[in-house]
C-alpha cells in the first residue's frame, strides 16, 4: 500500500511518519492539541489546529493497523470478517466519481482526486463501535462532509442526505451469484443536521495511507457517535432529499436496526447486550479488552443536543 499523499502536496512538505506518530502522543498530552496531521506546518493546518476542538481526537490506544485492515464488514466482498481484505483484489477504486445531487442549487460530479485536492485532509482519531458489540480506535484521514455539502448549496427544503455504494458484481464477489446477502446498492442516510455536524467525516485514508479497498476505498462515511453500519463505504452518490432515506440494515430487519443507530448502552440489541464492547486487538483474558459502551460512543457532549426531546429508545 503506497503512502497516502494528496496529489497537491509535495513529498518534502509531508511530515515523516515517525515524526507524526510521536507527535500524536505529544498532541494528546497538550490541552488544546486536538489533531495530529499528515501534513507539515502549513498555514491552513496551523489554522485547523487552532480551531478544531479536542473531540476530534480520542486518547484511547489505537487499534493496530493490521486489525483495522483485516477485520472488516463489507458484505459486497463476502460475509466473513476476513473476506473484504482477501477478496477485494479486483476492486478498482480509481478512476472514481461521486455524484452529489437532489435538492441542491449546484448538483455536481466530483472526481475523487479533485475532491481530495479541494478539501484539506485532516487526521481524526475516532472510536468506532459496531452494532455487533466490537469496537476499534482508528486514525482516519478525511474532510468534513459539511465542506462538500456547502459546495453544492443544499436548498432550504432539503432535510436528509442519502448515500449509495457502488454496484460492481465483476469486482465485488459478494454481489455475484444466486445467494445475495443484501439487496444492492448498500444505502444509508443521515438527517441534514447530522450530516453537517463537524464530527461527520468523509474518510479517504487511514493510518496516513490511502484508504484500503476493504475499508471502503476510495471514500467512505464516518459518523463516530453512530453504530458502524452507518459508515457506508465506496460511495458513488450523495443525494439531498426531504424524505427520510431508507438504510440497508433497517430495511433488512426493522426490528433490530433503526434509522438513527446512535450508540446507546441502554438500548440492547434484541439478541445481545449493548452495555459493553470488545476492543479489537486487545487481549480478551480476564475481562481485558472489554470496555463499557458510552452513550453516543463517548461523543455525547458534542451531539446529544441534536436529539433533545427525542425518545432515544423509540428512535433506535
Instruction: Return binding residues for Mo-molybdopterin.
Output: 72, 75-76, 130, 165, 215, 220, 231-233
CB of 247 to ligand MTE, least distance (A): 10
List the one residue from 4, 20, 74, 143 that touches ligand MTE (CB under 6 A).
74
Report whether 210 contacts 142 (CB < 8 A): no
* Start-end of H helices in the chain: 17-29, 43-51, 65-68, 83-87, 112-118, 145-152, 192-196, 248-252, 300-303
| Interaction of residue 173 with ligand MTE, rule CB under 6 A | no
CB of 32 to ligand MTE, least distance (A): 29
| Interaction of residue 76 with ligand MTE, rule CB under 6 A | yes
d(CA 55, CA 311): 25
Return the half-sphere exposure (C-beta side, CA atoms, 13 A cut-off) of residue 16.
2
| Interaction of residue 172 with ligand MTE, rule CB under 6 A | no
Binding mask 113-152 for ligand MTE (x = CB under 6 A): -----------------x----------------------
Angstrom CA distances, 18 to 14, 139, 208, 315, stand at: 11, 15, 11, 44
Binding mask 215-244 for ligand MTE (x = CB under 6 A): xx-----------xx-xxxx----------
Spatial neighbors of 149 by CB under 8 A, at least 6 apart, are: 100, 161, 192, 195, 196, 240
CB of 29 to ligand MTE, least distance (A): 28
- Please give the residues from 182 up to 221 whose contact with ligand MTE meets the rule CB under 6 A: 186, 215-216
* Closest residue to ligand MTE in the complex (CB): 228
Q: Quick one: cell of 61?
A: 490506544
d(CA 244, CA 222): 19
Residues that bind ligand MTE (CB under 6 A): 72-76, 130, 165, 186, 215-216, 228-229, 231-234
Amino acid at each position: 500500500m503506497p503512502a497516502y499523499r494528496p496529489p497537491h502536496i509535495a513529498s518534502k512538505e509531508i511530515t515523516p511518519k515517525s515524526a507524526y506518530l510521536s507527535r500524536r502522543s505529544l498532541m494528546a498530552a497538550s490541552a488544546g492539541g486536538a489533531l495530529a496531521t499528515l501534513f507539515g506546518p502549513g498555514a491552513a493546518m496551523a489554522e485547523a489546529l487552532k480551531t478544531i476542538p479536542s473531540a476530534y481526537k480520542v486518547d484511547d490506544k489505537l487499534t493496530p493497523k493490521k486489525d483495522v485492515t483485516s477485520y472488516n464488514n463489507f458484505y459486497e466482498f463476502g460475509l466473513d470478517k476476513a473476506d473484504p481484505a482477501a477478496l477485494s483484489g479486483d476492486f478498482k477504486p480509481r478512476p472514481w466519481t461521486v455524484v452529489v445531487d437532489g435538492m441542491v442549487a449546484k448538483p455536481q460530479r466530483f472526481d475523487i482526486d479533485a475532491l481530495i485536492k479541494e478539501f484539506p485532509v485532516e487526521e481524526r482519531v475516532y472510536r468506532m463501535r459496531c452494532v455487533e458489540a466490537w469496537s476499534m480506535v482508528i486514525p482516519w484521514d478525511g474532510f468534513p462532509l459539511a465542506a462538500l455539502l456547502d459546495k453544492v448549496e443544499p436548498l432550504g427544503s432539503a432535510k436528509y442526505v442519502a448515500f449509495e455504494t457502488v454496484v460492481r458484481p465483476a469486482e465485488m464477489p459478494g454481489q455475484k451469484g444466486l445467494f445475495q446477502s443484501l439487496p444492492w446498492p448498500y444505502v444509508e442516510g443521515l438527517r441534514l443536521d447530522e450530516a453537517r455536524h463537524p464530527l461527520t467525516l468523509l474518510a479517504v485514508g487511514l493510518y496516513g495511507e490511502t484508504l484500503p479497498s476493504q475499508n471502503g476505498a476510495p471514500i467512505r462515511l464516518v459518523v463516530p457517535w453512530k453504530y458502524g453500519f452507518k459508515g457506508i463505504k465506496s460511495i458513488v452518490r450523495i443525494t439531498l432529499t426531504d424524505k427520510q432515506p431508507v438504510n440497508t440494515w433497517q430495511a433488512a430487519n426493522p426490528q433490530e436496526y433503526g434509522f438513527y443507530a446512535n450508540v446507546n448502552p441502554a438500548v440492547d440489541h434484541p439478541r445481545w447486550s449493548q452495555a459493553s464492547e470488545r476492543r479489537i486487538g486487545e487481549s480478551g483474558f480476564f475481562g481485558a479488552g472489554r470496555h463499557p459502551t458510552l452513550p453516543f460512543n463517548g461523543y455525547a457532549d458534542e451531539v446529544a443536543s441534536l436529539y433533545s426531546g427525542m425518545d432515544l429508545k423509540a428512535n433506535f
